[in-house]
Every structure is written in C-alpha cells, then in structure tokens.
Structure 1
Amino acid sequence: MKAFVVTGPHQAGVQEVDPPVAGPGEVVVDVQRAGVCGTDIEFFTGEMQYLHDGFAHYPMRLGHEWMGTVTALGDGVNPRWLGRRVTGDTMLGCGECRRCTSGYQHVCENRTEIGIRNGRPGALAEQVAVPERALRELPDGVDDALGALVEPGGNALRSVQGAALRPGDRALVLGPGTIGLLVGMFARAAGAEVHLMGRGDRSLAFARTLGFDGVWTEDALPELPWDAVIDASNAPALPAKALELVEPGKRVVYVGLAGSQSLIDTRTLALKDVTAVGILSASPGLSATIDAYARGDVDPRPLIAATVTLDDLAPVLAGERPDGAGPGPKFHIGID
C-alpha cells in the first residue's frame, strides 16, 4: 500500500509498504481522510521533542487525525465493527498499569501513540491498524471532514471543560491556530463571550470571519476581566502572560506546547488563587466531540484550507500553501 514516510529532517515522500494485518484485538481501517497537525510538521523538521527523548525514531509514518472504514478484523474483535465508519484514539496505553485501569491511559508511561510515539504507524497511508478499544463510531451526521477533525476537536473540548466556563463568562484564547479556533468554537457553544489574541495578520483576519466577539493583537488587547485564559499557542512567553491576564480566583488552561521552556511564576499563581489546568490529549473528549459535531453545536469545517493527496503532502509540511487553498489553518489529505 501507499504510505507517507519521513526518513529524516525535511526528507519524506510516499513509499510502497506492506499493508497492516489486524492482530488480536485489532482492526484494519481503510483511511479516507486524515489531517495534518503541528506535531507532524515538527517531526518533518526534526524539532519534535520525542525525537530527542528517544520516544520516536526515523523512519516514521505520521498521521493521528483520521477517519475511515473498518475492512478487516483480528481475533476477538466484535464483528459489528466491520464496514463501520470510525475514527479513533491516538493514545494507546498498556491497559494494565494503575493509570490505564483508572481511566488515564492517555498518560500511561508505556503508551504508544498512533503516528507519533514508540513506532506505531500512523494514518497518512491507505490503511492503518487500530486496537478495537480505541475506535469511535461516526454517525451519519458526521461527514468525513468532521470525522478527521474529531481528534483536534477533543483537545479543544477538554480545554474548555478545564476552563469550567459558565454562560456569560468571558474567555480569552491565546493563539488563533487550529486548536485555538476550535477552543473558541467550543467555548462559544458553552455560552461564553470569546476573544482571541494572536500575531499574524492572516490568521487574525481569518479568525474575524468566524464571528468571535473580539480578535486582537497583544498591544491592542482591551483591559477586560478574563474569567478564563486558554493558551493554545506555541509561544514560550504566553503561559506567563495568561497567568498575568486571568482574573483572580479563575482558571488558566495550557494546551499549547512551546519548543523551549515556557515558565510561570508560581507565586503569582498562588497569590491570585488561580487554578492551572494542563491538557495533553483528546482521549477523554472524543465521544463528546463527535456528539457536538453531530448536533451541529460546533462546525469546524471552515478551518480546512484544502484537501490534497499524499503525493502533495511534503510541500505542505514544508510550509507551502497549495494553489487555491482557502484562508484556514488546517490541511486534510484525501486518500482513495
């Protein structure tokens, strides 16, 4: 089958590889749509921390935002999955440790991550093998594009849940990229007044088209009481800025990751009586995200700038925007 393989920094392309075989408890999915994430770009450039920590090695097969149809079953898998449209969890815990058995498999020390960690092949390919326990069925009301947006949506939903927003609260989202915009959409669906702060003219202009209450640069940000500040950026200085901006007694949420240390002063955290929440993965939010998409509470499809083929992926990872691409931050890969 065809798969996109990264063999080294800035070295990648489509290769013919052996198709996956469903092991016990696994299924094979024919991938129909997959998303490109900032994590994929960092693996392509060689900047991803897992490469330096020993959790990932070249060659790599990327892809953790995906949907498709189950076409083969391994031993012990419920036959109801055959032919179902699905997406799935990226984080695959060992299933035996204390974290896994208490519902925290996404932070299992020995976890694999599809297309990311410990050599598990990803979904930027014609097929991918996935454990049955990771599958989430997609209803008819969630089309292929939405199905491939469940994983980033789950991160955003969990960020909004971590902010504990109530109707009428005022939320500030730092970083109007894919996750930041999704956070804004879910916060708005929760009844919050949503503002975004960013830097790039193009990203800010696009964010304004989505109807948020305010879209600002840092120097133009109004002095308003922020009931929650959610940092969805990769800027090392913004975690501290989030803590500076949030109202005393309220919440800061950190879902973005910088490429270098991003420090906060815990004295400020304590003296303002602020709750800080970290969000690693979509895992506990996948099913609720599918439900929100199916109800129409959130529709992230405008974020998709273009859908390209596997053969066109390397230039996208290198930062090129295909001819005819829209203004959104997200690129999808359509796989026949």
Structure 2
Amino acid sequence: MRAFVITGPGKAEVQDVKPPEARAGEVVVDVARAGVCGTDMEIYSGAMSYLHTGQAQYPMRIGHEWSGTVASVGPGVDEAWLGRRVTGDTMLGCGHCARCTSGRQHVCADRYEIGVRNGWPGALAEQLPVPVKALQVLPDSVDPAAGAMVEPAGNALRAVRGVALPPGGRLLILGPGAIGLLTAQVAAAQGAEVHLLGRSATSLEFAASIGFPRGWTTETLPDLTWDGVIDASNGAALPALAVDLVEPGRRVVFVGLSSSPSLIDSRNLALKDVTAVGVLSASGGFAGTVELFASGEVDPRPLIAATVGLDDVAAVLAGDRSWGAAPKIHVDPRS
C-alpha cells in the first residue's frame, strides 16, 4: 500500500509499504480521511520533542486524526466490527499499569501514540492498524471529513470542560488555529461568550467568517473580565499572559504547545487563586465530540481548507498555505 513516510528533518516521500495485519485485539481500518496538524509539522521539521528524547525516531509514518472503515479484524475481535465507520484515540496505553487501570491510559509511560510515539504507524496511508478498544463508532450523520476532525475537537471539548465557565461566561481563547477555533465552536455551543486573541488579520478574518467576530490582537484586546482563558497557541509567552488576564479564582487551560519553554510565574497563580489545567489529548472526549457533531451543534467542516493526496503532504508540512485561509488540511490517502 502507499504511505507517507518522513525519513529525516525536512525529508519525506510516498513509499510502497507492506499492508498491516490485524493482531489479537486489533482491527485494520481503510483510511478515508486524515488530518495534518502542528505536531506533524514539528515532526517534519525535526523540532518535535519526542525526537530528542528517544520516544520517536525517523523514519516515521505520521497521521493521528483520521476516519475510515474497518476492513479486517484480528483474533478475539467481534466480526460485527467489519464495515463499521470509525475514528479512534491516538493514545494507546499498555492496559495494565496503575495509570491505565485508573482511566489515565493517555499518560501511560509506555504508551504508543498513533503516528507520533514509539513507532506506531500513522493514518497517512491507505490502511491503519488500531486496537479495538481505541475505536469510536461514527454515525451516518458524521461524514468522513467530520470524522477526521473528532480527534482535534476532542482536545477542544476537554479544554472547554477544563475551564469550567459559569453559565454564559466570557471565554478568551489564545490562538485562532484549528484547535482554537474548534474550542470556540464547542464553547459557543454551550452558551459561552467567545473571544479570540490572534496575531494575523487573515486568521481573525477567517474566524469572523465562521461566526466569531470578537477577534483581537494584543494591541486591541479590550479590558474585560475573562471568566476563563484557554491557551490554544504555540506562543511561548502566551501561557503567562493567560494567567495575567484571567479573573481571580477562575481557570486557565493549556492545550497548545510551544517548541520552546513557556514559563509562568507560580506566584501569579497562587496570589490570584487560579487553577491551571493541562490537556494532553482527546482521550475521554471522543463520545461527547461525536454527539456534538451528530446533533449539528458543532460543524467542524468549515475549518477544512482542502483535501489533498499523499503526494501533496510534504508541501503542506513545509507550510504551503495556498489552499486557503481555513486552518486544516485533510488527506485522502487513496486519491
């Protein structure tokens, strides 16, 4: 089968590789759509931290936002899974450590991360092996494009849950990228007054075009009470800004990651009695996200600029934005 393989920093190619076989407890999925995200771009550039800690190494087959159809099942897996439309969790814990058995498999020390950590192949390929326990069934009302947005939107849902806004509260989201806009959609569906802080006019104009006109820069940000602040950016200075801006006694959530240390002053947290929440993944947010998509309360598809083939992925990872202002690019591995 064809798969996109990163062979070194800034180097990648589409290769013919051996198709996966479903082992015990696993299925093989025919991939319909896969998303490209900032983590993938960091892997391509060589900046991703796992490459420097030994938790990832080249060559790598990326892709952890996906949807598809179960094509085969391994030993011990119910054949009723065959033909089901699914997406799935990126985080694959060992299943037997204290973290896994207490519902924290996404922070298992020995976890695989699909397309990211410890060599589990990703979804930028025609087929993908996945443990059946990681699967989330997609209803007919959630098409392949929306299905491949469940994983990033699951991060957004967890961020909104973590910020714990009061009813009708005012939320400031730092970073109007894909995660930031998905967070805005989820928060708005729950009745929040959503504001976005960005740097470029293009990103803020796009946010306004999909229903979020309250977009600001650091120069224009109004002096308002922020009942919660979510940092969905990759700016090293913004976590500290989130703590500075949030109303005392409220919460800040960190779902974005900078490629360099992003420092906060713990005195500000303590003296303002602020709760800081970190969100690593969509684990725990899949079912709720599918419900939001299926009900129509959240439609992530306007965030997709284009769907390209495997041969175009290297250009996307290198920063080509010629497909439009929307922040997300999808890949059809069979096109």
TM-score using structure 2 length: 0.99
User: What is the DSSP-based 3-state SS (H/G/I as helix, E as strand, rest coil) of the residue aligned with 1:146?
Assistant: helix
User: What is the DSSP-based 3-state SS (H/G/I as helix, E as strand, rest coil) of the residue aligned with 1:61?
Assistant: coil
Residue identity opposite 2:24 in structure 1 = P
Residue identity opposite 1:54 in structure 2 = G
User: What is the RMSD of the two structures over their aligned residues, measured on CA atoms?
Assistant: 0.8
Q: CA deviation at 1:211?
A: 1.7
**Distance in 2 between the 1:321 and 1:274 partners?**
38
**Distance in 2 between the 1:88 and 1:64 partners?**
9
Are residue 25 (structure 1) and residue 49 (structure 2) matched?
Answer: no
Residue identity opposite 1:9 in structure 2 = P
- 8 Å CA contact 2:99–2:108 kept in 1: the answer is yes
1:1-336 correspondence runs (5 A): 1-322=1-322, 325-336=323-334
Residue identity opposite 2:135 in structure 1 = L
User: What is the DSSP-based 3-state SS (H/G/I as helix, E as strand, rest coil) of the residue aligned with 1:283?
Assistant: coil
**Distance in 1 between the 2:242 and 2:319 partners?**
28
Residue identity opposite 1:97 in structure 2 = C
**Distance in 1 between the 2:88 and 2:252 partners?**
28
Q: CA deviation at 1:165?
A: 1.8
User: What is the DSSP-based 3-state SS (H/G/I as helix, E as strand, rest coil) of the residue aligned with 2:195?
Assistant: strand
Offset from partner CA, 1:267-310 (integer Å, 9 cap, x none): 11011111110000001101110111000111111100110000
**Distance in 1 between the 2:121 and 2:94 partners?**
17
Gaps of 5+ in 2: none
Offset from partner CA, 1:28-73 (integer Å, 9 cap, x none): 0000100001000000000100000100000000000000000111
Q: CA deviation at 1:326?
A: 2.8
Residue identity opposite 2:214 in structure 1 = G
Offset from partner CA, 1:101-148 (integer Å, 9 cap, x none): 010000000000000000000010000100000011000010011000
**Distance in 1 between the 2:208 and 2:21 partners?**
46
User: What is the DSSP-based 3-state SS (H/G/I as helix, E as strand, rest coil) of the residue aligned with 1:69?
Assistant: strand
Gaps of 5+ in 1: none
User: What is the DSSP-based 3-state SS (H/G/I as helix, E as strand, rest coil) of the residue aligned with 2:285?
Assistant: helix
- 8 Å CA contact 1:165–1:190 kept in 2: the answer is no
**Distance in 2 between the 1:210 and 1:220 partners?**
21
User: What is the DSSP-based 3-state SS (H/G/I as helix, E as strand, rest coil) of the residue aligned with 2:158?
Assistant: helix
- 8 Å CA contact 1:193–1:213 kept in 2: the answer is no
Residue identity opposite 1:326 in structure 2 = G
TM-score using structure 1 length: 0.98
User: What is the DSSP-based 3-state SS (H/G/I as helix, E as strand, rest coil) of the residue aligned with 1:268?
Assistant: helix
**Distance in 1 between the 2:118 and 2:54 partners?**
9
**Distance in 2 between the 1:68 and 1:281 partners?**
20
- 8 Å CA contact 2:166–2:227 kept in 1: the answer is no
Residue identity opposite 2:44 in structure 1 = F
User: What is the DSSP-based 3-state SS (H/G/I as helix, E as strand, rest coil) of the residue aligned with 1:15?
Assistant: strand
Tell me which stretches of 4 or more aligned residues in structure 1 moved more than 4 Å.
none
Offset from partner CA, 1:177-233 (integer Å, 9 cap, x none): 000001111111110000000101211111111222510001100000000000000
Residue identity opposite 1:73 in structure 2 = V
**Distance in 2 between the 1:50 and 1:155 partners?**
20
**Distance in 1 between the 2:180 and 2:233 partners?**
7
**Distance in 1 between the 2:29 and 2:185 partners?**
29
User: What is the DSSP-based 3-state SS (H/G/I as helix, E as strand, rest coil) of the residue aligned with 2:122?
Assistant: coil
